[in-house]
Amino acid sequence: MKRGAAVCFAVLLFVFIPSLAFGGDLVEHRAIVISNDYEFTVENGVCSGSGELDDPYVIEDWVIDAGYEDYGIRIHGTSRAFVIRNVEISGAAKSAVYLSYVRNGVIDGCLFEGNWAGVTLNFATLNRITDCVFSDNSDGIRFYFSSQNQILGNAFDGNDTAIWFDACNENEIIGNLVSESHMGIYLNLGSEANYVVDNAFVDNFHHAHTDDLNRWDDGATEGNYWGGYEAIDAEEDGIWDSPYPITSDGDQDNFPLVTHPLVPTPPPATCDV
């Protein structure tokens, strides 16, 4: 077995919007509710953009203490493109960010801490969540009836469940660090054909559960890192020679990784004299 240098995955059908780093302090803002395309306004925290794919509305550089309001940012029933970037939200009773019946949204470089859920998608498609931190939420990410979205390069730490899908198909979960959760990833109620590759699952009580068949490797050379799992790597190619079982029905990672860039390599054993 040979580990590939890159993960091949389906490209979602919207324009890629690169992550940008912004300096300066965050500014406090009230909870934001946007219920149609005409409510992407300065009063609702929109800093720039026209809502086109190549010029999305931008909501950025805010800190929102929801104070146990239901949501920090709620966007419902919109068709325009938008980015939520460099925003910190805590204390939301239902979800820090709630996207319902939306598409072409990006959540990038945000911190969600101490909410019931970090990000919730409901009947949403073609959205991306990338480079965010989810800490000490009940659920990190929760999807309902949402398909063809991407969860890329995020860090989950200390959530009850890091990623939970109900009836969600053909989403991509790639390059995330999922640690110290009761459940790492939970795919429920007919969630199938989701692509889960190149993630690191570390120190979770349960790494993963699924009721239906999903893809846990790229079909050729690369799967995920599963903390605590060891088999034999006879070829010393960085892939365990035995699959990592997800369910007893045959759902498995055929190319479990011996190491992962997001997981520090333990120091070699030494003899104390």
> Which of 31-40, 204-213, 239-248, 260-269 has the weakest average pLDDT?
260-269
Per-residue pLDDT, averaged over 247-266, amounts to 90
- Report the pLDDT value the prediction gives residue 272, as an integer from 0 to 100: 66
**For residues 123, 127, 128 and 129, what is the CA-based torsion angle, rounded to 10 degrees?**
-40
pLDDT in tens, 109-152: 999 999 999 999 999 999 999 999 999 999 999 999 999 999 99
d(CA 149, CA 129): 8
Is the confidence at residue 13, as pLDDT, over 80? no
pLDDT at res. 170? 98
Phi-psi region of 66 (alpha: psi -120 to 50; beta: other; left: phi over 0): alpha
Quote the CA–CA distance of 273 and 97 in Å, as a whole number: 54
Which sign does the torsion angle of CA 259, 135, 87, 26 carry?
negative
Domains, the chain, ordered by start:
27-253 (2.160.20.10)
Per-residue pLDDT at 24 = 53
CA neighbours within 13 Å on the CB side: how many for 155? 10
Give the SS3 label for residue 163. strand
